[in-house]
Amino acid sequence: MNKKVVIGSRESKLAVLQSQMVKDYIVCRHPQMDVEILTMKTTGDKILDRTLDKIGGKGLFVKELDRALLEGRSQLSVHSLKDMPMEVPEKLPILAFSKREDVRDVLVLPKGCDVLDPLKPIGCSSLRRKLQLKEIYPDMQVKSIRGNLQTRLEKLDSGEYSALVLAAAGLKRLGLENRISRYFDTEEMIPAAGQGILAVQGIDGLDYEFLKGYDDLQAHQAATAERAFVKYLNGGCTSPVAAYGEIKDGQLKLTGLYYEEKTGHYLKGYKTGNPSDAEKLGTSLAKELQERCKVEYKESGLQEDNKKEPGKVWLVGAGPGDVGLFTMKGAQVLEQADVVVYDSLVGQGILTRIPASAKLINVGKRAGHHTMSQEKINQVLADEAKKGNRVVRLKGGDPFLFGRGGEELELLTKEGIPYEVVPGVTSPISVPAYNGIPVTHRDFCSSVHVITGHKRKGMEYDIDFEALVHTKGTLVFLMGITAMEDICSGLMKAGMDPDMPAAVLSKGTTAGQQRVVATVATLKTASDQAKIQTPAIIVVGKVCTLADDFAWYEKLPLAGWKILVTRPKENISRTAALLREKGAEVLELPSISIIPLEDQSRLYQAFSHIRSYDWLVFTSPAGVEVFFRQMEKKKIDLRSLGNAKIAVIGEGTKKKFLERGIYPDFMPSVYDGNTLGKELGALLNGTEKILIPRASLGNRELAEELKKTGAQVDDVPTYETGYVSSPLINEKKEFEEGTIDLAVFTSASTVKGFVESTKGLDYSRVRAACIGKQTRAAADSYGMQTYMSEKATIDSLIELVETLKRSEEKWN
């Protein structure tokens, strides 16, 4: 028998308590054993801004714990069984089930309230609860809420929700039974499979004799039936399937809820059988309810009556690529999307604006390479809207200019699904404009004509070239690069002067913008020599001769450079805006996320005597935001800070105070923690009391410098930094292919976040512009080519980027 056992646990208070219960069982029966608890934050705990069905389901709560078992860092994991996926790896079997705690769901009201507030939503974390709540409270709004139990209760008591629906088991285990306002019986709200049961998981091949006697037979049999029911229906986070098994008088009664996602129909039912046949019972009930649903709704003719209210579809034009050309209405609609159906021609800057909570559907749509047929796309839009979603069809350019938007609307109209069209800036106008070509000019032409250069395979062009030549206007061909030779030949055969100016414009409005100006007779040869790539357009007309004279975009100081700017996902970057003003294509990606600590007891303790502090010292804009957010939560008046002076590390942190009408008293000459500590320390007499609310892994030298003066320093962690990455942009691939010229880092944390998102990248490929010493040191530690701004300010950082660009141009 093992002498030492490590139990893996999520780090929430409830999870640790549940692991402690298993530890106590083992130690009580085997006092000679050394049992430890290893806590870790799972992916599901880190991503709190999206519902589970959008980020991968319940498996995100166990992935890190499974890895610890496989790597031998732990020998057991303890889970709430309802949080475990239905498929469990053979190497990591469930060893035992605990005796079941109260299985019911409960309603929790804010402290001091005894009735529901109809103006605020009920918060709950699962589709299962949402569906059943609509029966119990048909007039109440229901809204998703994520986070551990304490976090949810804090949101409730702060006034965000009228009530929460939670599991009684968790509240009781934490001694919070007094918060329960109402119990839902198991018939009006069927629990999640496994609710109230703890699952102890191990790794195949180890000796677990020390767990003998822990497994509860009735809980084991009930859980087996419940999980078999859900597994057969492929239910979980993405579908509100529910099941509850109860053994009475030697029989197992299984109650289940089946939901048909396509139609929104659902049924409840039950089946009784022998507990020893639990798995068969679960599968049998699932099959029966599935069949009943098909038969009953078909026979009653309720298919149409009981359909969910359809959502709505927006066809949104994303423009030619430059995020600055995305319309304000398009941005507003995109921010509120539940589902985004996007194609390959949408600019990366716009893709980064898709909300993290949205479901993403990539349909390809680049010349010759379609991920999904047009007919299938049409059906996807209709199907997603029928589920009640706000669906954005995000299309490069404009939806109605060779964007096949009309075809997509045909099915929506037929199905009675509401829709709107948001026009986009179209490439036939914008791309020539970015290349100094006005498509009309009264000295050269009085008309412009837009033609598709694409033709169906094996077919001749259905284009009247003679009519186009007779217009004497500017001709713009879209999707015509592969047929350039045929287009130019057709125009010349129709009588166009072979010396007519023509241009091919590639990747317009982006850093990769390229222009070739020639004649109709020579354009194909010149294009091949320049190795022009799609997307590109062909412009034919005398206005093409103006390109060199009118070119403006390429004259901007940072034109032609694609720059990665990393930032906290909560921030809109001033850095990115300034770089875009100077012509850079900016890929603005979140690399870190600010996560307020669940336990703010030390900060609250500081709040209780906030007037006693002489200095409040802030080392980041995030620290300021978290500090004031917690003040609001505890209802602490801003005037309570009147006695304290404010010290900030730099301009960004200072700005956060200025937004609140507070002018900081001190800012160091160099914006880093060491200088802040030394220069502020020089102003102290040693009797001061100082509060530093900041990141849990902040620079310790700041506090040490201040303590040298004799001052009392309360160094209080208020938040931690998490790392995030874009599901749409492959940063690693971009650097490996050399399409990004420079990475701009404004903190050491953003460097680390970037590295987390690009594991396996050869960082010597990365040129990094850094705002200060600590940021540069972080980039240096990974072997990047680093450059540091003269001052630790955004303006100085932009100057550095311009200097690097000029230097490259000089050597080229």
Show which residues are catalytic. 343, 365, 479
Do the beta carbons of residue 136 and residue 189 sit within 8 Å? yes
Longest dimension (CA), the chain: 99
Closest C-alpha among 248, 255, 286 to residue 271? 255
- Measured CA to CA in angstroms, residue 113 lies from 120, 151, 157, 170, 434 at distances of 13, 19, 10, 21, 60
Beta strands in 194-263 (DSSP E): 198-201, 242-248, 251-259
- Measured CA to CA in angstroms, residue 232 lies from 114, 282, 287, 427, 434 at distances of 41, 8, 8, 50, 56
Give the DSSP H/E element, type plus range, for residue 539. Answer: strand 536-540
Burial class (CB in 10 A: 0-12, 13-18, 19+), 43: middle
Cα separation of 538 and 475, whole Å? Answer: 8
Cα separation of 719 and 742, whole Å? Answer: 30
* Cβ neighbours of residue 3 closer than 8 Å, sequence gap 6 or more: 32, 33, 34
| Tokens matching residue 84 | 């475990």
291-309 burial, b at 16+ Cβ within 10 Å, e below that, comes to eebeeebeeeeeeeeeeee
Strand-pair partners of 254: 245, 271
Do the beta carbons of residue 253 and residue 278 sit within 8 Å? no
For the beta carbon of residue 551, count every other beta carbon within 10 angstroms.
Answer: 15
| Tokens matching residue 341 | 């159906």
Q: How far apart are the first and last CA of the chain?
A: 70
Cα torsion 281, 286, 291, 292: sign: positive
Burial class (CB in 10 A: 0-12, 13-18, 19+), 364: middle
